[in-house]
Structure 1
């Protein structure tokens, strides 16, 4: 069942234009992978940028065991066997773009569905402190990133912006049943050549979805 958004929330222009990748997985059926703006209702036929979601690296515990995906009208599907969290990584969505400072910036996307595992498998990941718990920690390359902004969308469409603490931890109020969606960005200063462009910043974008019984 898609995440229901009951209202449109006032946000900054940058946030309103942001695209994320997220995974939805129920107790049965395939995992569904979306690219879009989850703060807003998805247009019929999918987000206008959905065509950019071509071949994400989808896996469970081993990044080398990539799970194939099937394209649908507004999402990708991955047939997942067994239990466990589902993850993906994609660095081929948007080309590096020049900012107001005249320097290029790139984005790398990560996503996870589930909160059973407490050890990260992605470079940038939100992990629960205990399996199935509601307190999480944000890890970049295995290390905590304190004071990160976190956006939370509840099953009823209620949205809240919070910050992680000095230990990169935060707690989600899971007082209603359904699917929760979390977003976190982390900026990394770099000096790399990507797509023949000198990139000075990479924004790592990670999402986590989980179902509260």
Structure 2
């Protein structure tokens, strides 16, 4: 049933009171997945700011060698093909399935504190689902539906991660945040129809080694993308933000 204009305005007001409009330059990038027809794409930038990095540019820092389609039959590796502003994958999701990607080769960097120089690594990852069906964690830092609409679980290294801040954002920039409980569970009301991208961060200060290089800490950011089929008609996305000029 379609909302009348008055009812839609009421729903819009309620949504705005319980969320926030986020604008401005992105402060911390993410990768996320979107599916359009038969194609699933991986983007790098900020979904809520309508910012997608490009090639030539920051997109070239990615190799994206770890992409998989998870179905009831098992896990199938996917190929990623770099385009002007995304990586196109060789698969798509259907109901009950997931696509996961994890970038383990993004360039590390040095940090200096009290005359001590250490190295940090950043590991972005993303998951795409076609509904609220329960999924099993597979990424190092993961965020999966539990089977209850609007409820998700955060896990790190396969174990529930409590007290993790999770942000949910839609194309207009409207956003909400919540924290996971002791079981890693977090819930959101999802008033808008359309694509939601949920994001969670976690920093592990355990020293390690990657590709023969020592590091002092690993910083993870993972997104979960899904489409809400019902709800208030979405507000438009802001004008596309220009890609970063720093080509690295």
Which TM-score band applies after superposition, normalised by the shorter structure? 0.7 to 0.9
Alignment of 1:64-79 (within 5 A): 65-79=76-90
CA distance in 2, matches of 1:45, 1:126: 26
Runs of 4+ in 1 over 6 A off after TM superposition: none
Q: CA deviation at 1:56?
A: 3.3
The 10-residue stretch of structure 1 (140-149 or 163-172) with the greater mean CA deviation from structure 2: 163-172
Distance 2:178 2:92 in 1: 34
Q: Which runs of 5+ in 2 are unaligned?
A: 1-19, 230-248
Taking the aligned partners of 1:47 and 1:64, their CA distance within structure 2 comes to 32
- Equivalent position of 2:105 in the other structure: 92
- Greater shift after overlay, 96-105 or 180-189? 96-105
Q: Does 1:136 find its partner at 2:152?
A: yes
The normalised TM-score by structure 1 is: 0.82
Q: Offset of 1:189 from its aligned partner? A: 2.1
What is the RMSD computed on CA atoms of the aligned residues? 2.7
Q: Please show how residues 171-190 of structure 1 align to structure 2 within 5 Å.
A: 171-190=187-206
Deviation at 1:45, TM superposition (A): 4.8
Deviation of the 1:93 alpha carbon? 1.6
Q: How many residues align?
A: 202
Alignment partner of 1:80 is 2:91: yes
Aligned to 2:77, the other structure's residue is in SS state coil
Distance verdict in 2 for CA 1:186–1:168, change over 3 Å = same
Matched, 1:127 2:144: yes
Larger mean Cα displacement after TM superposition, 72-81 or 135-144 = 72-81
Distance 2:44 2:65 in 1: 11
Report the alpha carbon displacement of residue 81 of structure 1 after superposing the two structures with TM.
5.2
Structure 1 residues 90-99 or 59-68, which shifts more? Answer: 59-68
- Aligned partner of 2:23 in structure 1 is 9
In structure 2, relative to structure 1, the CA distance for the partners of 1:8 and 1:127 (3 Å cut) is: closer
Counterpart CA distance in 1 for 2:24 and 2:163 is: 22
For residues 29-44 of structure 1, the aligned pairs below 5 Å read 29-42=38-51
More helix by share: 2
CA contact (8 A) 2:165 2:201 kept: yes
Larger Rg: 2
Conservation of the 8 A alpha-carbon contact between 2:38 and 2:92: no
Change (3 A) 1:136 1:206: same
Q: Distance in 1 between matches of 2:209 and 2:228?
A: 42
